[in-house]
Amino acid sequence: MSLIRPLQRKPDGEIVFREPTSGEVPAYPILSHTWGEEEVIYQDLKKGKDKSKTVNKAGWRKIQFCAKQAAVDGLEYFWVDTYCIDKKNTVKLGAAINSIFRWYQNAARCYVYLTDISKPDTGADDQRAWEEAFRKSRWFTRGWTLQELIAPRLVDFFSLEGKRLGNKLLFESTIHEITGIANKALRGDALSNFSIKERRSWAERRNTMIEEDEAYCLIGIFDVSMVPNYGERRDQAFRRLEEEILKLYKGKIEIERRKPSSPTVGKAMSRPRPNKSRNKSISLNTGNGFLSQQTSSSAKLRWFTRQLNLSAG
């Protein structure tokens, strides 16, 4: 995993980078948001650059919010993707994409900043109004925010004005209804406990600004590594993702078909299966003919996913 490079808010309010070291990383909250116009980027923090232009960008409001909320929570450091990832450096960008799930997972808290939900400080709390806006928030439709919802243990939601709306635990039922993500996954259960098909379904209605990111944003969800190659197009990115998923499971997991007498078999036993032997274990490298060298990677993954789902009943 690449070392995270958090931001530090000094006592005088100045925001600077904390250079990464191999030592212990200080506790940090992490921001989750949707990209908009005039985002503050890595190059805006270069030494000697006129910061008056930076602070006048619309995206600076997010940086300020995260810094102030971190201070409220007693935290000196924080991390924001727009500001902390050098997207013009392909090597660093690739390292960040392969590490970002764990960066969110290791964060002390995750602040979800919802720019399409307003909760003015008027003294009256029109909860019904903002709850309806919450259900329709753009944040639930973006590809990258899937891992930002699942990976952190503590997730707090905030309005455009920086008012706390609630946390992931409080909104668990609502989030499940909106996203279809299993409650156990929202509570932090290991993602390996969920089938490939189920994890893939969580992203079906989500989209990204760049087509290849539809695949890259799932790298952490499937716990694989791959080098981003922007320009390869969506289909090729997904083919490579499928190949990495196949490599992860190949030869490591055997799926034992349950006997008909098993009380957990359920409807799975009524589904057609490629092998009539019910007691035989199936592995991806048994040479049983189902995954021949001539079979495409996509077909192999579909076959493997089907077997994995059947084993789960």
- Tens digit of pLDDT at every position of the chain (313 positions): 778 888 999 888 888 888 766 678 899 999 999 998 899 998 887 655 678 888 899 999 999 999 999 999 999 999 999 989 989 999 999 999 999 999 999 999 999 999 999 987 765 667 888 999 999 999 999 999 999 999 999 999 999 999 999 999 999 999 999 999 999 999 999 999 999 999 999 999 999 999 999 999 999 999 999 999 999 999 999 999 999 999 987 754 443 333 343 333 333 323 333 443 333 332 233 333 333 334 454 555 555 555 455 444 4
Per this entry, what is the length of the chain?
A: 313
Side by side, the strands of the sheet bearing 109-113 are 29-32, 109-113, 155-158, 164-167
Q: What is the residue whose two structure tokens read 């009943």?
A: 313
Residues 6 or more apart whose CB falls under 8 angstroms from that of 9 comprise 15, 67, 70, 71, 76, 77, 78
Query: Do residues 197 and 309 touch, judged by C-beta distance below 8 A?
Result: yes
Beta strand spans in 11-61 (E): 15-17, 29-32
> What pLDDT, on the 0 to 100 scale, is given for residue 98?
97
220 contact partners, CB below 8 Å, separation of at least 6: 100, 101, 102, 147, 151
Q: What is the pLDDT of residue 22?
A: 65
d(CA 92, CA 100): 12
Amino acid at residue number 241: L
What share of residues in the chain are helix, strand, coil (percent, to 5)?
Answer: 40, 10, 50
The answer to whether residues 66 and 31 touch, using CB atoms and an 8 Å cutoff, is: yes
Looking at residue 308, its pLDDT comes to: 52
Q: What pLDDT shows up at residue 304?
A: 54
pTM score: 0.80
Helices (H), 45-124: 51-55, 60-72, 81-84, 90-105
- Written as six digits, the tokens of 55 are 């602070």
